[in-house]
Structure 1
Amino acid sequence: MNTPKVAEHITSWLKDYAENAKVKGFVVGVSGGIDSAVTSSLCASTGLPTLCVEMPIHQAQSQVNRAQEHIAQLKERFSNVSEARVNLTSTFEDFKTVTPEVEQSAQLDLALANTRARLRMTTLYYFAGLHGLLVAGTGNKVEDFGVGFYTKYGDGGVDLSPIADLVKSEVYALGEYLKVPESIQKAQPTDGLFGDSRTDEDQIGASYDELEWAMKMQDAGKKADDFSGREKEVFSIYIRLNTINQHKMIPIPVCEIPNELK
């Protein structure tokens, strides 16, 4: 990948899109991870107003520290960058008190994790509406179009996706080029939605390098029986997630009414 040219291309694309949409700039949720760091850096590089929003919900201090380090660095480098911090922990806890009480289960854990993501989406669109900004998505290609590792109408609820055609290794290459803090470049990827130390790999069962490989194999028309051992296991994980998460990747189905019934 020609990293400098890719960075230039995305920056130009972002600026053109914002100007054509007649909006002022961008708002980005900054989590302390590589994807949001790269996305916010690219938005900042346009020269347009870029609001970085930190939205902790029972967040690990290490994630908070990385997010704050990145935002501080961006503000030093770019005069068009501003920040906001909205601690959504109490909002999340209030939500749990007004919903019916149910038994603890994996389904409840997942529903609450997705609720965190949707509270953040709501917050980003609040700022977008307030300041005339676009919500910039932070999903990469493997997450968005490979395994569907995001929350529908949560971190998947965005106006535009600047890095969604880049696999994770390419995002890391951009991060190094864009001078993203080393603490973020070296951190284990995590969505931080469960309030514990689990990583993306813990949840998915495969690393991003492995998922990139599986994505390439799928594109090449390979099947699980073409592999053995760990490769077969990873490919099966990828295909299972790619299949069950298609509802996130395709347009919302519309029930079309035949003309003779109208």
Structure 2
Amino acid sequence: MKIAAIQMRSGLDPEANLAALEPMLAEAAAAGARYVLTPEVTMIFPENRDQLASVAAPFEDHPQLRRIGELARQYGIFIHIGSLAVPLEDGRFANRSVLFGPDGAICATYDKIHLFDADIAGLNAYKESATYRGGDVAVTAPLGEFTLGFAICYDMRFPKLFNSLASSGATLIAVPAAFTVPTGQAHWDVLLRARAIETGSYVIAAAQGGTHANGRATYGHSVIIDPWGRIVAQLAHDEPGVLLADISAGLVEEVRGRIPALANARNFAPPQPL
């Protein structure tokens, strides 16, 4: 199956972001992609919570998602919106991933589980949970001969989630992201390759890249990695673009047969205090 990752530089206007996305979706479909992944915060990359609240649309009958459903049906492909902010009843948002099937209907959603809350010496505290409410359910969905596992950005630092997805049948794991430049340079490839190796799964990571209207800079370098941990395709820059690769369900089976880590895993008790 041919798959595609779309790299974007999303700004503050959902309609402008959709307009930038549409020709790249058309390019991926014309190249034969049956599954296309977009980055985290595809529809709006907010400057702050107030700015996000002023433009984030309700999930039901969401105007940009409605258009994505039309495009999925027009092209007859799976389109996976890496994430968008969805208003919740407590005033926060869900960072929600949405998968459309070739019929244009939503076939799965996933709310980002792990939120980045950190108080780093010398820097301002960053508390993602003040704006977003984390999900609490791991998600997989059928995708032709593959099973798709869902993750978003910071989730990639938590192997337990990826192990759960693969143990539940995932053979391709999506990681849409808006990774910062310093952490991207240090950790992007190595974390994603590690998640592919330890689960024997393909990993596709669609990234935001460049300097955004909100003043933030993201790493780009969208990548597709095979179950052996090899990078099979990558955008070596932070510019918008389309990344394509052919993937094989047979390779997943072969790699998991050679290194049956999922099958060999055992439960164990935690260390006891000394």
Name the TM-score, length of structure 2 as normaliser.
0.28
Relative to total residues, which structure has the larger strand share, 1 or 2? 2
- Whose Rg is larger? 1
Name the TM-score, length of structure 1 as normaliser.
0.29
